[in-house]
Amino acid sequence: MSTAARSVPRSRAVRVPLAVLRAARPAEWIKNGFVLAPLIFSGRFDHAGTAVRAIVVMAGFCAIASAGYLLNDLLDVELDRQHPTKRHRPIASGDLSEPLARTLAIALAVIGLGAGFAINWKAGALVGGYGILTVSYSLFLKHLVIIDVMTIVTLFVVRVLAGAVPLGITVSHWLLVCAGMLSLFLGFTKRRQEAASELHSGMTSRPVLEHYSLPFLDQMVSAVTAGTIISYILYAQSSPIVHGKMLGSVPPVLYGVFRYLYLIYDRGDNRSTATLVTKDPGIIGAVVAWIVIVACLLYFF
């Protein structure tokens, strides 16, 4: 067999796995870090057994989240093909076939549920509920103005609730408020990015954006930014778990929020939340500073 003949299957053997990895969007798994929030703030991160159980639950969320991304891309494949950047997604570009994507989505959903139920039925139920809500979002909730963002908030809150299950604790109401406000902030800023991008390009790939105007989104971003900052300060001072220890962690949170807004408004950055958090030096520095300060406050002092 000639070298040219052998290169075709070899090229496909590399291309398909890479397409699968891209479609699973591992960069987005950073959002599932919310599962670890109860573990971190409870002061039990240094308990190996508890930490492993929490990480297993987080892995379950990562698997079922990727199943949701595949389903969403399958449903939006025609719209994605008309978008200047989304047309390069694996399913829209044809790098990943639709039948294989369906099979992978089912397999990942089963793995995610298995990881949840491996801890206990509560964790499994929350992972399953997250999966059902993700499917509902892909099918119709993402087309409902404001409800689409509130659904994203619910998904974040479910992550936090699931993270408390391996610990056998009740999540602080303040932690839930912080998670909810932060996810509102991320949800409305994302819609603002998408609306500005589509206004500039003159193309529509997300029908719900027709109901969002930039002035309205700017008002929502202003409101949830204030709510996010205030709720975190109140949590740092008033949570029954951390007992006021966390006030020292407020400065990097403020900087991270302001830096995020600066990138979106001043720089017109339309990259995804996961990309901004993992690629922008300023936000990375704020996250690292926050982790160091929290670790010192909760575990060393």
Each residue's pLDDT tens digit in the chain (301 positions)?
A: 444 444 444 466 678 888 889 999 998 899 999 999 888 887 776 677 888 999 999 999 999 999 999 998 998 888 878 877 778 889 988 888 999 999 999 999 999 999 999 999 999 999 999 999 999 998 899 889 999 999 999 999 999 999 999 888 888 888 899 999 999 999 999 999 888 887 766 566 667 888 889 999 999 999 999 999 999 998 888 766 666 678 889 999 999 999 999 999 998 888 888 888 889 999 999 999 999 998 888 777 6
Q: What is the pLDDT of residue 95?
A: 87
pLDDT for position 196: 85
The pLDDT of residue 112? 96
Specify the pLDDT at position 201.
Answer: 61
Q: Show me where the domains of the chain are located.
A: 11-168, 172-301
* CATH topology classification for 11-168: Tetracycline Repressor; domain 2 (1.10.357)
Residue 4: per-residue pLDDT:
46
> What's the pTM value of the predicted model, to 2 decimals?
0.85
The candidate with the shortest Cα–Cα distance to 169, out of 122, 215, 124, 117, is 122
